[in-house]
Structure 1
């Protein structure tokens, strides 16, 4: 599964001040996309995990300095999960083990870090895009 959105350049140039269907007059715009998945991953017992890859210190266990480890966090409530460098979001079924890897089956969602919403906090756009207003926690 891949969701990739970008301006494809198809279509004629739009004149400044052109009104879009909702009556909003724009010159530049922000677009927020939300991908909703319902994975039923090898059964109905699945979890959401944030997994961060972290560099290991250079020592006897990591003599060449190329080692890393992972830390996992399972949210206990419905909360925003922010993108961060070296972070992968996983939808996993801890009760179904892959015969290939020996780990629980999972979907990995890679979300690159992007800028926060630029609209003013009291604007109509900010009120409509609450999910885009939280700041990364790192």
Structure 2
């Protein structure tokens, strides 16, 4: 996991949404991420942005949510990356990838994030934590 946060580039686009800690927040955040990637001119990143957002939001819901505290999903477009950040109120435990058994239905989210994202990591906050992933902006071939 990459703990370094490289936000040298100022965002050219930014979107922040708060979601209640409920299961229906995951598809809402996923659809918004895909829509933003297209709206911001990077339709080829829409599927990966949606999947990363879904995985990070699900992890926040399962491992970092509290009933009365919102989850925050932020997307930033810079000159080099599309960055997805999900913030939850529980900072006691940072995520760590693990090997899921073949018969387990859960436990592969961070493997998916590692496979899709150019970089990902975690940032401590005064309250809670932010897990982020970056998709590089590469012009279509």
- Please state which structure has a larger fraction of its residues in helix: 2
Structure with max Cα Rg:
1
Structure ranking higher on relative contact order (CA contacts 8 Å, 6+ apart)? 2
